[in-house]
Amino acid sequence: MSRRPVWLEGARRVAYAAADLAVPLHCGGCARPGTRWCARCDATLRDDPVELTPRVPPPVTTWAVGRYVGPCRGAVLALKEHGRGDLVPILGAAVARDLVRLAAWSELPRATGSLILVPAPTRWWAARRRGGDPVTAIARAAADLLGPRVSVVGALRTSAWAQDSAGLSARARVDNLAHAITVTARPAALARLRAPDTAVVLLDDVLTTGATATESLRVLAAVGVGVHAVLVVAGA
Ligand SMILES: [Zn+2]
């Protein structure tokens, strides 16, 4: 029987070190060292949701877990730009808490039997990156916490030819998105979204002008799906 070589223990430590390098141990909200998510940033996420007034206003009330500053901005950037997938459960919990609050404030219908979260559309190449689409991941984490009557339906996609909207004016963003967002939900999913006892919330990571949310609601309305509210992690 062969004994485990001593040198393998060294390899094991290297593997752990490499894993730690991949996800550096600093707060995803404020970069404080020694923790992946600090108590101060966590307290910010626990504040009440913020009502937004977008320049391109969707026809329903638009809410954010927080403003696009500080921990909310830091967490979204860490997740999207630096692959900090470990922040998904933290942001999912914040979204879940805010959905419960919005229901308590009667901003979401309370009598409905189920709640469906529709992730805002992502560009096809973004969804193919490692770890998939972060908005869908956050939505799933929130739905898992909220129980079996809350689910996630991927219903929207942005065409490959839509430009990255960063740097565009509000008007240019609207033009860029016109007819660029398409409904991809299959008939069974559409039937669930249209069901009268279902509340639908559009979820996104960041809201800048509101153009994406407004166009998403327009194309959903065109196929008979009414959205009750828009909720984003970080709102400008
Ligand atoms: Zn922090």
> pLDDT tens for residues 140-179?
999 999 998 999 999 999 876 666 666 767 777 667 777 7
d(CA 71, ligand 1 centre) in Å: 6
Whole-number Å distance, alpha carbon 219 to ligand 1 midpoint, is: 38
Closest CA to 215 of 230, 205, 194, 235: 230
Which residue has 């070589």 as its token pair?
5
Provide the residue ranges of all domains of the chain, joining segments of one domain with +: 48-235
Determine the pLDDT at residue 169. 75
137 touches 126 (CB < 8 A): no
> Given this model, what pLDDT does residue 175 score?
72
Residue 97 CA to ligand 1 center (angstroms) comes to 19
Quick one: pLDDT at residue 72?
94
| Whether the predicted pLDDT of 91 surpasses 90 | yes
pLDDT-wise least confident of 22-31, 140-149, 201-210: 22-31
pLDDT tens, position by position, 100-125: 999 989 998 877 889 999 999 976 55
Instruction: Say how many Å lie between the CA of residue 221 and the centre of ligand 1.
Output: 39
Report pLDDT for 11.
53
51 - beta bridge partners? 63
Indicate the class that CATH gives domain 48-235.
alpha beta
Per-residue pLDDT at 5 exceeds 90: no
Q: Predicted confidence band at 1 (pLDDT cuts at 50, 70, 90)?
A: very low
Structure tokens at 75: 């967490």
**pTM exceeds cut of 0.95:** no
